[in-house]
Structure 1
């Protein structure tokens, strides 16, 4: 297998762990190559040019080479323009990163999801100037993650009729199938949503309070369904704080 060299790929650092005395192993989310494992040699040295650059939630341009699963980072450049996350926004950033690490296999490209992540980080970094609250910012990302990874069926089609949901009717989300009209014997833990909420969610419109509340129920259900026994630390903290 020939060595591969990639230059100036848009990326974000999701996670890092120390490696030997002076290096780091990075889990990065790149636009065209998905999640990559990169070794940043010497990045822990006090005067390393990489050390101040490899920060989470900051847009980077990274270059790497190698042919093994663990590639070698050869350059990292800070793109700039994104204020640091603080407070609740910082917790939400860690939550997004945990989701990506749990859901995405390595080296599968998710360009649309990368763009959604970038938009979400930008919104969180400008939270004080945003008209949207945390939930309105996070819900579209959760939905994009579930849809791009194949864990969420279409919300704007009834599986029984193949028509759009009727705004005034009630629907249930049935695992592995999708939305259909509520039936008396449906399991009580399946989320119930109005047709209007389903149409709003599918359109990315979470401004209606009822839609926001019902989308929270749906996202918790879908994420829990596919994470199973895996615990997301920051997600539980945010739930406990009633932030999401």
Structure 2
């Protein structure tokens, strides 16, 4: 069955056999699909140039079963040209999405969620270039914005996958209190706790609930919590994009 043209982003590609490549595409209103594309002949150079990450495509595919076949595609909008740290973060969004979004499982909103955060990430780089006139280093404010985008994407994506958590209510349905402390229990939620050293403050949880990461503590605890929640979905295989952030 042929599809109508839909917007899509390339998350991952690898050679398959002969002139074919295996693609993982995040498709508007659908979710993640695996599909084969044939790249050959006079159009191969242009096709390869178009099938790049961070480019919104219009695609048409066919196939009744899990593996689809890419019949046609064209560029919907120019590619987002990330640089430096922003590029590493964009690769992280792609790899994380590819790894934890199930293939062939209907998820209507993940495309818009991905596109929204990808554009936000690109916007930070653009604004920094304008303000700094080409300076290569990021200000603390830029770093805070980047972390906020990544954490918001992680937590919202987990919610779309059905494994998200509530940050403004505890495990018993009571509103989180700013002056109280809570321990997180998997598959239960945040439980009130007297162990301040091993708990999240209510202030931090409410900040995360509103996507605010101005304090160093909220950024550190949000990052630790997101990694804890993502670990079962990622398994033992580490994310390659995280290695790009390691000091060399």
Which residue number corresponds to residue 202 of structure 1?
209
Q: 1:214 aligns with which of 221, 226, 238?
A: 221
* Mapping of residues 108-187 of structure 1, within 5 Å: 108-128=105-125, 129=127, 132-133=142-143, 134-160=146-172, 162-184=173-195
Which residue number corresponds to residue 67 of structure 1?
64
Q: What does the per-residue CA deviation read over 1:148-174, in whole Å, with 9 as the maximum and x for residues that have no partner?
A: 1122321211113x1111001111111
Higher helix share goes to which structure?
2
Following the alignment from structure 1 to structure 2, what is the Cα–Cα distance between the partners of residues 53 and 75? 12
Q: Root-mean-square deviation (CA), in Å? A: 2.3
Q: Measured at CA, do residues 113 and 47 of structure 1 come closer, stay the same or move farther in structure 2, by a change above 3 Å?
A: closer
Gap regions ≥5 residues in structure 1 = none
Q: Is residue 234 of structure 2 the alignment partner of residue 227 of structure 1?
A: yes
The farther-off stretch of 192-201 and 128-137 is: 128-137
Which residue number corresponds to residue 47 of structure 1?
43
Which residue number corresponds to residue 200 of structure 2?
193
3-state DSSP class of the match of 1:96?
A: helix
CA contact (8 A) 1:82 1:122 kept: no
Following the alignment from structure 1 to structure 2, what is the Cα–Cα distance between the partners of residues 156 and 226? 24
Following the alignment from structure 1 to structure 2, what is the Cα–Cα distance between the partners of residues 19 and 61? 22
CA contact (8 A) 2:15 2:22 kept: yes
Following the alignment from structure 2 to structure 1, what is the Cα–Cα distance between the partners of residues 28 and 114? 10
Which residue number corresponds to residue 135 of structure 2?
none
Q: What does the per-residue CA deviation read over 1:167-217, in whole Å, with 9 as the maximum and x for residues that have no partner?
A: 011111111111111255x9x8xx632112211212222334332222112
Following the alignment from structure 1 to structure 2, what is the Cα–Cα distance between the partners of residues 231 and 141? 19
Query: Normalising by the residue count of structure 2, what TM-score does the alignment of the two structures yield?
Result: 0.84
Gap regions ≥5 residues in structure 2 = 129-140
Q: Structure 1: which 4+ aligned runs deviate by more than 6 Å?
A: none
Following the alignment from structure 1 to structure 2, what is the Cα–Cα distance between the partners of residues 37 and 228? 20
Query: Normalising by the residue count of structure 1, what TM-score does the alignment of the two structures yield?
Result: 0.85
Aligned-pair CA distance for 1:6? 1.0
3-state DSSP class of the match of 1:88?
A: helix
